[in-house]
């Protein structure tokens, strides 16, 4: 496996370390920003470079998991490789890992990112294990897995000792139960609306609640009292999702983290409160 250091241009981090030093001085009581597909507005989404910067800045990230024709778990949002690589309109599930990794996953975003590849899930989790500076949150968005892939997913999370810091979501209920049966400590998340919080608590299956409405302090307290992680799913772009008022509101409610396309701006808003 190619080393991480050979994949990430040192120049890209020249300013990041200075920002990181300032960012990491924020109180540990703050929620963790969880960058949607990595820093997708600043680097090619779902690439090691985007994820590495998140880790250097003490942030979590969300990623998307798909399976190649020959059974490898890779990190890519779309079923087709066309949008985020230089490849044709072809499904990941019809390509081998070797074919997929011949594609350029960075040039579409900018010439300085040329040469980046679609990472495997193992490369990504190895990066987390190596680079994380503090406890983090890794949201594993399951797009397409077969039964063999389910076992590989759990085994990889075990291998890189990320059972407490990662969770899988967006898979159907049957897959969630299979994943949990493979290892009861493997954490399952789900998008939960306000009206369903108590129902999901009564079922007592979910470990992570991705709340789809800005939660109140009472709702967060209820989840914490039951030993659940309370996250706010505020992913998406546009002014409606780039809202410092909402960011500050959910911070005050005591959430554990927020899934957002604007993690840098969100953290800046939180830091402004502390000043």
**Residue 153 near residue 173, CB atoms below 8 Å:** no
Q: What is the 3-state secondary structure (H, E, C) of 168-217?
A: EECCCHHHHHHHHHHCCCCCEEEEECHHHHHHHHHHCCCCEEEECCCCCH
- pLDDT at 2 (0 to 100): 45
User: What pTM was estimated for this model as a whole?
Assistant: 0.89
Residue 97 parent element (H or E): helix 97-100
Regions of the chain with pLDDT less than 70: 1-29, 274-275
Q: Where are the beta strands (DSSP E) in the chain?
A: 32-35, 60-67, 73-75, 138-142, 166-169, 189-192, 208-211, 229-233, 257-260
- pLDDT at 272 (0 to 100): 82
- pLDDT at 266 (0 to 100): 96
What's the CATH number for 4-274? 3.20.20.190
**Residue 55 near residue 127, CB atoms below 8 Å:** yes
Q: Where are the domains of the chain?
A: 4-274
Rounded Cα distance between 158 and 120, Å, is 16
- pLDDT at 24 (0 to 100): 35
End-to-end CA distance of the chain: 44
User: Running DSSP on this structure, what letter comes out for residue 112?
Assistant: G
- pLDDT at 45 (0 to 100): 98
- Strand, coil or helix: what is 155? helix
Rounded Cα distance between 246 and 154, Å, is 34
- Pick from 102, 77, 98: which is nearest to 88 by CA? 102
Q: Give the residue numbers annotated as catalytic, written as ranges.
A: 36, 77
- Pick from 195, 188, 157: which is nearest to 173 by CA? 188
């Amino acid at each position: 496996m190619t080393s991480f250091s050979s994949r990430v241009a040192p120049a890209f981090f020249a300013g990041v370390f200075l920002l990181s030093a300032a960012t990491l001085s924020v109180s540990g009581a703050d929620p963790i920003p969880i960058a949607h597909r990595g820093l997708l507005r600043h680097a090619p989404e779902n690439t090691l470079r985007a994820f590495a910067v998140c880790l250097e800045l003490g942030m979590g990230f969300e990623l998307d998991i798909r399976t190649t024709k020959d059974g490898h778990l890779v990190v890519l949002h779309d079923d087709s490789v066309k949008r985020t690589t230089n490849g044709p309109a072809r499904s990941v599930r019809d390509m081998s890992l070797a074919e997929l990794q011949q594609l350029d996953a960075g040039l579409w975003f900018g010439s300085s990112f040329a040469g980046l590849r679609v990472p495997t899930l193992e490369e990504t989790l190895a990066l987390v294990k190596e680079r994380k500076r503090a406890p983090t949150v890794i949201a594993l968005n399951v797009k397409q897995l077969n039964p063999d892939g389910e076992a590989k997913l759990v085994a990889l999370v075990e291998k890189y000792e990320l059972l407490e810091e990662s969770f899988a979501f967006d898979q159907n209920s049957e897959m969630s139960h299979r994943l949990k049966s493979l290892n009861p400590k493997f954490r399952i998340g789900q998008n939960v609306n306000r009206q369903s919080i108590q129902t999901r608590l009564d079922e007592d299956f979910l470990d992570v609640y991705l709340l789809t409405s800005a939660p109140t302090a009472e709702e967060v307290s209820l989840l914490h009292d039951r030993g659940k992680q309370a996250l706010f799913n505020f992913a998406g772009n546009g002014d409606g999702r780039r809202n410092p008022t909402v960011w500050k509101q959910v911070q005050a409610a005591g959430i554990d983290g927020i899934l957002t396309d604007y993690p840098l701006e969100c953290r800046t808003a939180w830091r402004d409160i502390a000043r």
